Amino acid sequence: MNYAACLGLLAALSSIGSQPTNLQATAQEPVLEVEGVAGTIRMRNFTRSHVDAISGETIMTGVGNPVVVEDTGTGLTLIAKSMSCRLKQNDKGEYVVQQATLADGAQVLIDSSVAAKSATERAKRENKPAPAAPKETTKTRIDSDSIVYVLNEQEGVMTFPKPVEYSGTSDGRATKTQDNIKVEVPFTQLTKASGSKGRFTIHVPLSAGDPVEARTGHLDGLVKFSLVRSETPAPKAGVPVPPEVTTVNGVGDSFDADFVKEGDPTLTLTGNVKLDGAGKAFKGSVTGTQAIFTLDRLTRQVTGYEFVGQPATTRINTKVGGR
């Protein structure tokens, strides 16, 4: 699941640089910009904004239709009709966002290709070798009427007190073993999850080059979950092979993601679980009290399943291709 990408939320705002604020008034709209550690962070499309500086802290608020905050360093875009952020300087003179509140139609978008482009441009400006091209491109979208963010040291905590919808896509190439040969297999994965409220935690990068990393996630129900993954195996004897598609749809009373535990990450549906699957990796229907999905830490591909309760008609393949 593209959870890692999805939980990059707001992390970029926790590494704002100490460069002076630049307010650019144009004929189209005012733009508020600061230079971050990894790229440019800008606020635009606001109809009203206010900044207070008190005892080493800066409080920024904005109202718009809607307000848009973009960070080129991480490919993050925040959208809401109302936003407020409390910034604090670290020992290097750089600002970090200690708290942020998005209200009234809040939306978070993350595009890894934007971050990759920014990293390449930064390396060029600094006369450094260009970073290697990423093997995977991810896009994330999260919608909720309200999002609250708090930074505790390097752990960012995002709370969704109202219904939340998550959608994440991954496009890339995974290394597989085919006919005893390592091959690069193109894949596309779409993951969706929604709940009545939730809470995510992430590792927040406070210096350039450190990645945003998913830690934990929780959604309360009714939770809806779906995953569609398509892989195109290498041609055999020069003949193209049709894509292998796996589809999983499910519901439950709660959803948990754990990327902190040792070993591979897990996604867990608990309480009144119903699952339907079709494809090579999972085919059949399951009802029970809990379903645990094991993921490959690198590709987020589902590699195994575990069910608790009284499953109905079920056929499961736990080996989902080799690496």
DSSP string, 287-321: EEEEEEEEE-TTT--EEEEEEES---SEEE-----
Instruction: Give dist(CA 31, CA 113) in Å, integer.
Output: 23
Percent of the chain with pLDDT over 70: 79
Query: What mean pLDDT do residues 220-227 have?
Result: 93
What's the pLDDT score for residue 203? 76
What's the pLDDT score for residue 92? 62
What's the pLDDT score for residue 146? 94
- Kindly report, residue by residue over 137-152, the tens digit of the pLDDT: 888 888 999 999 888 8
Query: What mean pLDDT do residues 155-177 have?
Result: 88
**Domain range summary for the chain, segments of one domain joined by +:** 3-316
With bands split at pLDDT 50, 70 and 90, how would you rate the model's confidence at 8? very low
Q: Which residue has the higher pLDDT, 8 or 115?
A: 115
- Is the per-residue pLDDT at 163 higher than 90? yes
What's the pLDDT score for residue 22? 45
Percent of the chain with pLDDT over 90: 25
Q: Report whether the peptide linkage leading into residue 66 is cis, meaning its omega lies within 30 degrees of zero.
A: yes
DSSP string, 119-175: HHHHHHHTT-PPPPPPSEEEEEEEEEEEEEEEEETTEEEEEE-S-EEEEEEEEEEEE
Query: What mean pLDDT do residues 300-319 have?
Result: 67
**Structure tokens, 282:** 């999972």
What's the pLDDT score for residue 212? 65
| C-beta separation of 101 from 94 below 8 A | no
With bands split at pLDDT 50, 70 and 90, how would you rate the model's confidence at 230? very high
What's the pLDDT score for residue 194? 96
Please state the pTM of the whole predicted model.
Answer: 0.81
Which of 5-19, 105-119, 257-271 has the largest mean confidence? 257-271
- Kindly report, residue by residue over 47-96, the tens digit of the pLDDT: 888 888 777 677 878 898 898 888 777 777 889 999 988 877 766 666 66
Instruction: Give dist(CA 219, CA 212) in Å, integer.
Output: 21
| C-beta separation of 230 from 195 below 8 A | no
What's the pLDDT score for residue 205? 63
- Is the per-residue pLDDT at 322 higher than 70? no
23-32, 179-188, 225-234, 261-270: which has the minimum mean pLDDT? Answer: 23-32
- Is the per-residue pLDDT at 290 higher than 80? yes
- Is the per-residue pLDDT at 2 higher than 50? no
H helices present in the chain, as ranges? 3-6, 112-125
Mean residue pLDDT across the chain:
79
- Is the per-residue pLDDT at 192 higher than 50? yes
Query: What mean pLDDT do residues 190-197 have?
Result: 94
Query: What mean pLDDT do residues 1-9 have?
Result: 39
- Is the per-residue pLDDT at 222 higher than 90? yes
What's the pLDDT score for residue 46? 84
